[in-house]
Amino acid sequence: MIRALRQLLVVLWWAGCAFSATQPNILLITVDTTRADRMGFLGSKRGLTPNLDALAKQGIAFSRAYSQYPLTVPSHATILSGTYPQFHRVVDFGLPLVKSIPYLPDILHQNGYQTAAFVAATALDPNSGWVPGFARGFDTYDADFSGDQADRYQNVEHRADFVVAHAWSWIKEHQKDPFFAWVHLYDPHEPYDPPEPFKTRFASDPYDGEIAFADSQLGVLFDDLRAAGLYDNTLIAVMSDHGEAFGEHGEFTHGIFLYDETIHVPLLFKMPKNQFGGQTLATRVGLVDVAPTILDQAKIAIPKEVQGQSLLPLMKPADPGSSAVAALSKRPAYSESDYSHRDFGWSSLRSLRDDKYLFVEAPRKELYDQSADPDAKQNLAEKSPAVTQTLSSRLAAFRGKTANTSKAGNSDVDPQLVQKLAALGYVGGGRANEPPGAEMNGADPKDKIDIFNHVEKALLAGAQGEAQKEVDLLLELYKKDPNVEVVDRNLGDTYLRMGKFDEALPVLRKAEELNPEMSQTHYQIGQALLNLGDLHGAKKELQAAIDKSTLMNLKYASTLHFFLAGIERRLGEKEEAFKELRLSLELEPEDYTTNLTLGRLLALDGNPAMGVPYLQKAAKLDPNSVEPHVFLSDAYEQLGRQMEADAQRTEAERLQAKQNPN
């Protein structure tokens, strides 16, 4: 009896040991566009976040956490890599996160984690071409925006309940090994449009309603974890990628300025077993610290390229006076945005929160004493030139220390491909024609913010299907400033979508004049000309688009060659068309449409045997599609392989019946 009991104790002891040695599950939650001052656990009295407040009671909240970039894609690149924007260089849509940049999902995957992403916005969908490289290390990347193209909640964003349901159905199937799940909620991003009952309850402040709805859905997820016994051993990290401005400094939404309304973000960790729980820490930290903190807690080595630091020493109450804590307590918080430069041609902005100051590097520098002036209303730069100069130098030194000095970004592209494409006029690097430092030239965004707000309003109208309203708003802008390239580009794009090619053309020509280096503009002009029947003109523009484009976005480059192939074909240049299609396929070998088109054209031109493999690949890439099987059937028939032709025809009919059950 006693022996049996002792055996049982030994078993329990070992079981306990094994359990504590198990790596924790990791749930990384990013709630887009959420201001720190809306969080109950950071002092808000609005009552929006009961579930996050409860989580904070068991975790560690940071009351002074800062985003490194007030835009979704660059900020998530910082969160997931633990590096600054000047290092990872994903400062715009379509710029790749290259393999030399450390990446939390990849590191966790290599350390035995099952990994999955559940993203709520097409902006974070690697298949959209907007975030190349983000899928690295993920077993599953849930980002399907192919639904009804007229429904915003199917083709642009998913609501929190949808994302949480997807995340939970994956988590419950992956409980055996430790899991890493990134759950991204987009609700608080404009348009502010919460579902009921939040719509009614927050009718006067729908932005708050979106936050309350997102919180309620996180409550569902936390309850699911608890019910499955997973909550305790799961590290839950919650943050926002950036905040939202409501005119405090003239800006609405986010992206240009670097004041607290868009840079101060919620940040909260709930550790396994609620370790170190119940603290709110006022040390200044950044989203750049999230990845190293998670790796540290999971006892995985932090790569040397990671620039943020583990916040664990701050959380461990045993050692408040240690040198690690002292070093962490003195760090500045760096932020930047190139949006004003890249899209509007104005100066970029950079900021440093250091000592008690917020310093903003701009054509007209800004200095605020955050202890006396937390809302940043009094610019002290002229009154305190010495402090301003010191902080300006510190910021420059910080950038010098943290910038990525390796040659711009093609390191994960097949070198043979690079060579081949260099011969066709491709260059590497985003804004290859600008000398270094040029991004700080141009107008001060402070003087131009009305234009930004106006463009945002117009684009939102367009995104909500109100094309004419978008056009009217953009035309109004001409009166304020006729030389903003982004206005022409968007106006031209909207006209294209409306099928108004005559009106699109002059607007796009003006955009081309303002910035002849912009590949996209040449592409758009090409589309307009094609639709106006000017095939030769369209061909010339497509070639210019290819010349001006870079290898940074393979999907885009592939699209250009595909489009040019269509023009060559219509001009009767069959060989040129095949050449362009093959180039397109080299850039994006897994593209369904290119495989289908190449296979079909080869068969039509008398090479069915050469076409078959492409058609087979297309069938594999989209197993529900009827077309590849119809074309395969034709090709087999040409080859006299009647049985295979019949089999393909049957398969096509089966798929067709499945799609139209009536």
Footprint of Zn ion (CB under 5 A) = 32, 72, 241
Q: Please identify, using beta-carbon distances, which residue of 241 and 568 lies nearer to Zn ion.
A: 241
Reduced to 3 states (helix: H, G, I; strand: E, B; else coil), residue 188 is: coil
For residue 528, give every residue at least 6 positions away whose Cβ sits within 8 Å of its Cβ, in sequence order, or none.
492, 496, 501, 504, 505, 508
List the structure tokens of 562: 């595909």
- Pair 32, 120: CB distance under 8 Å: yes
Rounded distance between C-alpha atoms, residue 357 and residue 373, angstroms? 10
Q: Please identify, using beta-carbon distances, which residue of 75 and 115 lies nearer to Zn ion.
A: 75
Residue type, 533: G
Rounded distance between C-alpha atoms, residue 83 and residue 334, angstroms? 11
- Write down the least CB distance from residue 69 to Zn ion, Å: 9
Q: Please identify, using beta-carbon distances, which residue of 241 and 591 lies nearer to Zn ion.
A: 241
- Write down the least CB distance from residue 237 to Zn ion, Å: 17
- Write down the least CB distance from residue 99 to Zn ion, Å: 24
- Pair 214, 187: CB distance under 8 Å: yes
189 Cα distance to chain centroid: 13
Q: Please identify, using beta-carbon distances, which residue of 49 and 67 lies nearer to Zn ion.
A: 67
Kindly report the backbone phi and psi dihedral angles of residue 196, in degrees, each rounded to the nearest multiple of 5, phi listed first.
-65, 150
Q: Please identify, using beta-carbon distances, which residue of 265 and 300 lies nearer to Zn ion.
A: 265
Give whole-number Cα distances, 556 to 48, 171, 342, 343, 427, in Å: 41, 34, 18, 18, 14
Reduced to 3 states (helix: H, G, I; strand: E, B; else coil), residue 556 is: helix
Residue type, 477: L
Residue position matching structure tokens 């199937």: 173
- Write down the least CB distance from residue 119 to Zn ion, Å: 11
Rounded distance between C-alpha atoms, residue 440 and residue 443, angstroms? 9
Q: Please identify, using beta-carbon distances, which residue of 188 and 628 lies nearer to Zn ion.
A: 188
- Write down the least CB distance from residue 345 to Zn ion, Å: 23
- Write down the least CB distance from residue 186 to Zn ion, Å: 8
- Write down the least CB distance from residue 200 to Zn ion, Å: 26
DSSP 169: H
Residue position matching structure tokens 């690697």: 126
Q: Please identify, using beta-carbon distances, which residue of 72 and 86 lies nearer to Zn ion.
A: 72
- Write down the least CB distance from residue 370 to Zn ion, Å: 24
Burial class (CB in 10 A: 0-12, 13-18, 19+), 647: middle
Q: Please identify, using beta-carbon distances, which residue of 39 and 544 lies nearer to Zn ion.
A: 39
- Write down the least CB distance from residue 34 to Zn ion, Å: 9
Q: Please identify, using beta-carbon distances, which residue of 31 and 235 lies nearer to Zn ion.
A: 31
- Write down the least CB distance from residue 95 to Zn ion, Å: 16
Q: Please identify, using beta-carbon distances, which residue of 32 and 493 lies nearer to Zn ion.
A: 32
Judging by DSSP bridges, how do beta strands 333-337 and 349-354 pair with one another? antiparallel
Residue type, 212: A
* Concatenated DSSP letters of 190-209: SS--PPTTHHHHTTT-HHHH
Q: Please identify, using beta-carbon distances, which residue of 241 and 366 lies nearer to Zn ion.
A: 241
Q: Using CB atoms, what's the residue nearest to Zn ion?
A: 72
- Write down the least CB distance from residue 32 to Zn ion, Å: 4
Of 485, 535, 477, 527, residue with least CA distance to 504: 527
Residue type, 485: E
Helix, strand, coil share (%) of the chain residues, nearest 5: 50, 10, 35
Region for residue 437 given its phi and psi (left: phi exceeds 0; alpha: psi -120 to 50; beta: otherwise): left
